[in-house]
Amino acid sequence: MISDDERAEVARRLARVRDRIAAAEVAAGRPAGSVRLLLATKTVPVELVRAALEADSVARAALVTRDGGHPPVEAVILGENRVQELVAKAPHLADLSPELHLIGPLQSNKVAAASRWASCIESVDTFALAGRLAGRAVVSGRVLEVFVQVNVSGEATKHGVAPRHAVELAVQVAALGGLRLRGLMTVGANTPDESAVRAGYALLRELSEEIVRTGGASTSGATELSMGMSRDLELAITEGATIVRTGTAVFGTRPR
């Protein structure tokens, strides 16, 4: 069980991140609510994830009461890195029906488990993986959402297709039955140099525009950009992020 203090802390941190997103939307001249918040929940105990979902739902309800009509922001998305952790936690979150994404690398032997619990795989970086996911989706008679992950920084430790192959891969993935390509995802450069981080996010946006310009099958809707983390979400929003992924800003520093 988690304490009332921990509950209050996660609610406070979540509100702070929502404020940062709203301020960045204004600064970038983008409509309020145009950026969705994904909570990266690796290593976070399921009770604390539940507390975050509950805090989010309370905060959104309060906004509705004040303004009337629809909540001005959509509910948070949850993102897990490891399939094993996704499978362990998802059943304990099912009653809250969160939107669940896989944001970490996916091995082919875990495709079935991942597609059972996640509605979206953000880490597709090879056509072979896309093909396996598509096959699985067709067999189970559903449509699986995917992002193509691009390694914009070129750092060897990062997953994702190289930028020069990203458009070709995305066009091929979009054309597969059983999948819906939502857009591109990246993990930004790990550097304090803001201009380098920002250039990577700008590159992801340019690649995304190029994909739509190909006119390839089912590419016209593939306009989402999942980019930006706790430390740099403002830069990502300036460059067009539609989903930012935060872990530490909401849950605190992870145990290592």
Ligand X SMILES: *Cc1c(COP(=O)(O)O)cnc(C)c1O
**Closer residue to ligand X in complex, CB, 110/214:** 110
Residues 6+ away with beta carbon under 8 Å from 153:
187, 188, 189, 190, 196, 200
Q: Using the rule CB under 6 A, is 229 a contact of ligand X?
A: yes
208/2 Cα distance (integer angstroms): 41
**Closer residue to ligand X in complex, CB, 219/226:** 226
Residue from the set 10, 37, 40, 90 that interacts with ligand X by CB under 6 A: 40
Q: Which residues pair with 244 in a beta bridge?
A: 37
Binding to ligand X (CB under 6 A): which residues in 178-207? 187
32/9 Cα distance (integer angstroms): 25
Q: How near is the Cβ of 248 to ligand X at its closest, in Å?
A: 4
CB atoms within 10 A of CB 22: 16
Using the rule CB under 6 A, give the single segment among 56-64, 129-137, 174-182, 247-255 that binds ligand X: 247-255
Q: Using the rule CB under 6 A, is 103 a contact of ligand X?
A: yes
152/117 Cα distance (integer angstroms): 28
Using the rule CB under 6 A, give the single segment among 47-55, 68-76, 214-222, 243-251 that binds ligand X: 243-251
- CB 31 within 8 Å of CB 25: yes
Q: How near is the Cβ of 79 to ligand X at its closest, in Å?
A: 7
Using the rule CB under 6 A, give the single segment among 11-19, 29-37, 132-140, 246-254 that binds ligand X: 246-254
Helix orientation angle between 194-213 and 163-174, rounded to the nearest 10 degrees: 40
Using the rule CB under 6 A, give the single segment among 12-20, 59-67, 217-225, 227-235 that binds ligand X: 227-235
Q: Using the rule CB under 6 A, is 245 a contact of ligand X?
A: yes
60/85 Cα distance (integer angstroms): 27
- CB 37 within 8 Å of CB 52: no
Using the rule CB under 6 A, give the single segment among 2-10, 165-173, 202-210, 225-233 that binds ligand X: 225-233
- CB 37 within 8 Å of CB 99: no
Q: How near is the Cβ of 120 to ligand X at its closest, in Å?
A: 13
Q: Using the rule CB under 6 A, is 247 a contact of ligand X?
A: yes
**Number of residues engaging ligand X in binding (CB under 6 A):** 14
Q: Phi and psi of 180, rounded to 5°?
A: -120, 115
Q: How near is the Cβ of 13 to ligand X at its closest, in Å?
A: 11
What does the binding site for ligand X look like in residue numbers (CB under 6 A)?
40, 42, 81, 103-104, 187, 229-231, 245-249
